[in-house]
DNA sequence: ATTATTTTTTTACGCGCGTAAAATTCAATA
DNA sequence: TATTGAATTTTACGCGCGTAAAAAAATAAT
């Protein structure tokens, strides 16, 4: 930087200032630096910069499972917004495991992030670890909430989205049963509760089909348990609302294999709906009717919130928990 | 570290040495450091470490599209192996765009990686950029090759895997046509060529169905163009070998929507096969018959190779291009 | 007990930059 | 032209560590 400053005819601290904020130097100075930049393509050493800055420009993003296209899309969206705001996002995946999540918190500390966007595992999370982390680093939770942790939470409102789907299903055919696996996070519980409430409000008897399974191979659980439940004739209703799209995708596969026609048309004997609008939901056979989460709003608000924290702002209570509405995506399966 | 060294009763350089390789200090010294570590949980500042090391322990991983579970799995596998070898992997996704790929190369330079594992976009890649990069940083290509770039290439052998599938399809029914989109990388071309060759060898007339479409939304292309081709009755054979699984997933959706029964059983009028054993291929309706790439072997060898380069080894010609065999995964669709 | 070897300590330097305070220059205003 | 305030430069310091060379200490071999 010393050399480069000489080449551009300004002092080193001025160059340093330029790289931290080009608009903070006089226009004529800026031109000189940028002219030199063309010729020598100098760039500050990332490690030296981060070692000396009071606060890095790093933003950590943590999702429970990057192999899930839902989180992959969400993470990508968030990354882009961070970059546009002049920050350096780094995404981590907990791979559905508590140990990984803890490991990531440790790694995060070592990169000294200005802020973190965390979609926690949920039930598998180690509360103490996350709590300690959030005390040290400005952290915003998204997708899945853990009470009392993080400066804010941004997600979807199951008590809006689930009734939306239940209403639709009841209006267009038999009232749905609810297909779920042991909950991995609070969302799953809330979705079930929202289902129960919505059914009761409409005067229908709710039926929850809880199948076995653990881990994050949701499709596999939906498929295996779907095969079993169908074979045993154990579905209390031929309209099935699944706790999430991935489970629904598995159940669709099971139905297909069992020779059951799924869909809204006359000749079909079963209806299956999901929740989330998973990127693959368009390409199942039949295409999956679902409730779309508002990716855009969630990622936008999450980044906004964490950046506000980073810049020293505080979150007032009205913005602590933000829940966005989902919207119905009607396709062929229900 | 100064303080911590005092607490553990050894000198700072000794502590530094310990963190670089715990086995490089005497056992008694090591115990004293680790005892102190329990009480004070000190950890070296990542940025200071990386600024001063001749070579960082960073490994860059670049894939064309992390939203594709195929690459997501591959990347995860590679990451784990890097960590186990004592390195710090960071994964980047080009998101299917040339600009992103170039941007990533730039970012990579700034983290001064010891080595890089690169699955290039292929045709959209900027050759000059990659070439320049590989000259500066030990780089191993995987999945998709670009002639003359990188120290080695690790991938699958389409001239083994495609004939495997073609043989199977011909043996069990009508010879397949080949369903492809404009190739995004050399793999796609090689797969088509391998198909042509395999058909000729078996004495059948090959038919390539090339549909329009660009970008990395393969399912969408398979679906939209599938619908069109089916409606126009344009498939030269009712057995279709798709260039990759994602295209096949789209085509399956199109067939379903067109009321065509796909599968190997009597009542089915169409067979569809894919290539890659995409994580979702098990859950399509019907489940997708495909050729599995050897994830494990590819990731293992890729990491081995780049680490060898990093540690100063050189790659002899016999290891420059490594192609692993795929294996047939027979499911319901063909 | 002496020598040879390994490990550790001491000493010293430098990595490439951020940052703070004081001194200086500059452009715009009065 | 004098004044003022902002922008810049100068000066100086420190971040937290790696690393090299020489000196000292501990261990192993003779």
What tens digit of pLDDT does each residue of B236-266 get? Answer: 999 999 999 999 999 999 999 999 999 999 9
Q: Does the beta carbon of A263 lie under 8 angstroms from any beta carbon of chain B? A: no
- Is B93 close to A111, i.e. CB distance below 8 A? no
Q: Does the beta carbon of B242 lie under 8 angstroms from any beta carbon of chain A? A: no
Domain spanning A158-292: CATH 3.40.50.2300 = yes
Q: Please tell me the distance from the alpha carbon of residue A231 to that of residue A176, in angstroms, as a whole number.
A: 19
Q: Please tell me the distance from the alpha carbon of residue B245 to that of residue A199, in angstroms, as a whole number.
A: 40
Nucleotides of D under 7 A from a protein CB: 7-12, 14-21, 27
Candidate from B72, B110, B287 with C-beta closest to A72: B72
**A contacts of B285 (beta carbons < 8 Å):** 252-253, 255-257, 284-285
Candidate from A91, A95, A257 with C-beta closest to B76: A95
| High-pLDDT (> 70) share of chain B, % | 100
**Neighbour-count burial of A3, counting CB atoms closer than 10 A to its CB (0-12 exposed, 13-18 middle, 19+ buried):** exposed
**Neighbour-count burial of B119, counting CB atoms closer than 10 A to its CB (0-12 exposed, 13-18 middle, 19+ buried):** buried
Under the banding of pLDDT at 50, 70 and 90, the label for residue B294 is very high
Looking at residue A14, its pLDDT comes to: 87
What is the per-residue pLDDT across A56-92, written as a single tens digit (0 to 9) for each? 999 999 999 999 999 999 999 999 999 999 999 999 9
Under the banding of pLDDT at 50, 70 and 90, the label for residue B113 is very high
Residues A115-140, mean pLDDT to the nearest whole number = 95
Q: Does the beta carbon of A251 lie under 8 angstroms from any beta carbon of chain B? A: no
Please report, rounded to whole angstroms, the spatial distance between the CA atom of protein residue B13 and the C1' atom of nucleotide D21.
13
Residues A201-210, mean pLDDT to the nearest whole number = 97
- Is B283 close to A66, i.e. CB distance below 8 A? no
Q: Please tell me the distance from the alpha carbon of residue A181 to that of residue A184, in angstroms, as a whole number.
A: 8
- Is B282 close to A223, i.e. CB distance below 8 A? yes
**Neighbour-count burial of B16, counting CB atoms closer than 10 A to its CB (0-12 exposed, 13-18 middle, 19+ buried):** middle
Under the banding of pLDDT at 50, 70 and 90, the label for residue A224 is very high
Looking at residue B272, its pLDDT comes to: 98
A 3-22 residues with CB < 8 A to B: none
Orientation of helix B27-40 relative to helix B12-20, angle to 10°: 90
- Is B282 close to A249, i.e. CB distance below 8 A? no
Q: Maximum CA pair distance of chain B?
A: 81
Chain A: give the shortest CA distance to residue B249, in Å. 7
- Locate the chain A residue with the closest alpha carbon to B279: A67
Looking at residue B29, its pLDDT comes to: 82
Beta-strand ranges (E) seen in chain B are 58-63, 88-93, 115-118, 139-142, 152-156, 177-180, 208-210, 239-242, 271-273, 290-292, 321-324, 327-329
Sign of CA dihedral A62, A63, A65, A69: negative
CA distances from A239 to A4, A204, A218, B147 (A): 69, 13, 20, 54
Q: Please tell me the distance from the alpha carbon of residue A224 to that of residue A255, in angstroms, as a whole number.
A: 11
Residues B44-55, mean pLDDT to the nearest whole number = 91
Domain spanning A58-155+295-323: CATH 3.40.50.2300 = yes
Q: Does the beta carbon of B256 lie under 8 angstroms from any beta carbon of chain A? A: yes
What is the per-residue pLDDT across B51-83, written as a single tens digit (0 to 9) for each? 998 889 999 999 999 999 999 999 999 999 999
Whether the beta carbon of B10 falls within 7 A of nucleic chain C: the reply is yes
Candidate from B73, B90, B253 with C-beta closest to A283: B253
Q: Does the beta carbon of A83 lie under 8 angstroms from any beta carbon of chain B? A: no
**B contacts of A93 (beta carbons < 8 Å):** 76
Chain A: give the shortest CA distance to residue B45, in Å. 7
Q: Please tell me the distance from the alpha carbon of residue A260 to that of residue A191, in angstroms, as a whole number.
A: 26
pLDDT above 80: residue B216 = yes
- CA-based nearest residue to A160, from A113, A217, A198, A201: A198
Please report, rounded to whole angstroms, the spatial distance between the CA atom of protein residue A11 and the C1' atom of nucleotide C12.
29
A27-31, A167-171, A249-253, A278-282: segment of lowest average pLDDT: A27-31
CB-based contacts of B60, cutoff 8 Å, min separation 6: B89, B90, B92, B108, B111, B113, B115, B116, B117, B118, B137
Q: Please tell me the distance from the alpha carbon of residue B290 to that of residue B325, in angstroms, as a whole number.
A: 13
Tokens 């839902």 locate to: A70
User: Among chain B residues 45 through 104, which have CB within 7 angstroms of nucleic chain C?
Assistant: 48, 51-52
Alpha helix segments (H runs only) across B111-238? 127-136, 158-172, 186-201, 218-231
**B contacts of A43 (beta carbons < 8 Å):** 109-110
**A contacts of B73 (beta carbons < 8 Å):** 67
Residues B92-108, mean pLDDT to the nearest whole number = 95
- Is B47 close to A50, i.e. CB distance below 8 A? yes
**Coil/strand/helix, residue B217:** coil
CA B78 to chain centre: 9
Looking at residue A234, its pLDDT comes to: 85
- Is the fold of A58-155+295-323 the same as that of A158-292? yes
**Neighbour-count burial of B109, counting CB atoms closer than 10 A to its CB (0-12 exposed, 13-18 middle, 19+ buried):** middle
Residues B131-157, mean pLDDT to the nearest whole number = 95
pLDDT above 80: residue A263 = yes
Q: Parallel, antiparallel, or unpaired for β A115-118 and A58-63?
A: parallel
Whether the beta carbon of B107 falls within 7 A of nucleic chain C: the reply is no
pLDDT above 90: residue A255 = yes
- Is B279 close to A67, i.e. CB distance below 8 A? yes
A312-326, B86-100, B129-143, B267-281: segment of lowest average pLDDT: A312-326
- Is B67 close to A47, i.e. CB distance below 8 A? no
**A contacts of B72 (beta carbons < 8 Å):** 66-67, 72
Q: Does the beta carbon of A256 lie under 8 angstroms from any beta carbon of chain B? A: yes
Residues B258-287, mean pLDDT to the nearest whole number = 95
Q: Please tell me the distance from the alpha carbon of residue A50 to that of residue A112, in angstroms, as a whole number.
A: 9
- Is A284 close to B287, i.e. CB distance below 8 A? no
Residues β-bridged to residue A322: A154
CA distances from B111 to A12, A115, A165, B88 (A): 22, 20, 47, 11
Looking at residue A91, its pLDDT comes to: 95
Under the banding of pLDDT at 50, 70 and 90, the label for residue A220 is very high
Looking at residue B30, its pLDDT comes to: 86
Q: For residues B235 and A54, which has the higher predicted lDDT (pLDDT)?
A: B235
Q: For residues A39 and A273, which has the higher predicted lDDT (pLDDT)?
A: A273
Query: DSSP readout, A50-74?
Result: HHHSSS--EEEEEES-TTSHHHHHH
CB-based contacts of B219, cutoff 8 Å, min separation 6: A280, A282, A283, B246, B247, B249, B250, B253
The overall average pLDDT reported for chain A is: 94
Q: Parallel, antiparallel, or unpaired for β B239-242 and B271-273?
A: parallel
Whether the beta carbon of B36 falls within 7 A of nucleic chain C: the reply is no
Cis peptide before A163 (omega within 30 of 0): no
Q: Please tell me the distance from the alpha carbon of residue B295 to that of residue B309, in angstroms, as a whole number.
A: 21
Looking at residue A10, its pLDDT comes to: 86
Residues β-bridged to residue B239: B271
Q: For residues A204 and B7, which has the higher predicted lDDT (pLDDT)?
A: A204
**A contacts of B54 (beta carbons < 8 Å):** none
Return the domain boundaries, chain B: 2-44, 58-156+295-323, 158-292
Nucleotides of C under 7 A from a protein CB: 7-12, 14-21, 27
**Domain at B58-156+295-323, CATH class:** alpha beta
pLDDT above 90: residue B178 = yes
pLDDT above 80: residue A313 = no
Structural element, H or E, at residue B82: helix B69-84
- Locate the chain B residue with the closest alpha carbon to A220: B283
In the structure encoding, which two tokens stand for residue A160, read together?
């809006």
Instruction: Give chain B's end-to-end CA distance (angstroms, integer).
Output: 63
CA distances from B288 to A197, A251, B200, B279 (A): 39, 16, 25, 11
């Amino acid at each position: 930087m010393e050399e480069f400053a000489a080449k551009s005819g300004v002092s080193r601290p001025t160059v340093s200032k330029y790289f931290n904020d080009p608009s903070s130097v006089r226009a004529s100075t800026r031109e000189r630096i940028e002219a030199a930049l063309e010729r020598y393509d100098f760039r500050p050493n990332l490690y030296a910069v981060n070692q000396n800055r009071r606060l890095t420009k790093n933003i950590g993003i943590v999702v429970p499972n990057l192999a899930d296209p839902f989180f992959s899309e969400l993470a990508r969206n968030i990354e882009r917004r961070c970059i546009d705001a002049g920050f350096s996002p780094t995404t981590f995946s907990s791979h559905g495991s508590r140990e990984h999540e803890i490991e990531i918190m440790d790694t995060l500390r070592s990169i000294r992030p200005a802020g973190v966007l965390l979609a926690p595992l949920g039930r598998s999370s180690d509360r103490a670890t996350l709590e300690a982390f959030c005390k040290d680093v400005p952290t915003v939770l998204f997708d899945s909430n853990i009470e009392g942790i993080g400066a804010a939470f941004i997600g979807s409102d199951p008590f809006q989205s689930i009734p939306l789907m239940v209403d639709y299903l009841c209006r267009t055919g038999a009232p749905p049963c609810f297909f779920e696996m042991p909950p991995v996070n609070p969302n799953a519980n809330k979705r079930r509760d929202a289902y129960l409430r919505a059914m009761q409000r409409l005067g229908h008897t709710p039926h929850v089909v809880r199948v076995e399974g653990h881990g994050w191979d949701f499709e596999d659980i939906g498929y295996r348990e779907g095969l079993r439940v169908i074979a045993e004739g154990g579905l209390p209703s031929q309209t099935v609302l699944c706790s999430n799209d991935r489970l629904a995708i598995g159940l669709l596969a099971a139905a297909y294999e069992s020779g059951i026609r799924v869909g809204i048309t006359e000749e079909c004997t079963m209806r299956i709906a999901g929740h989330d609008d998973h990127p693959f939901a368009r390409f199942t056979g039949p295409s999956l009717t679902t409730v779309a989460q508002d990716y855009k709003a969630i990622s936008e608000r999450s980044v906004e919130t964490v950046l506000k924290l980073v810049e020293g702002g505080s979150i007032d209570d009205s913005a602590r928990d933000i829940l966005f509405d989902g919207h119905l995506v009607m396709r062929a399966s229900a």
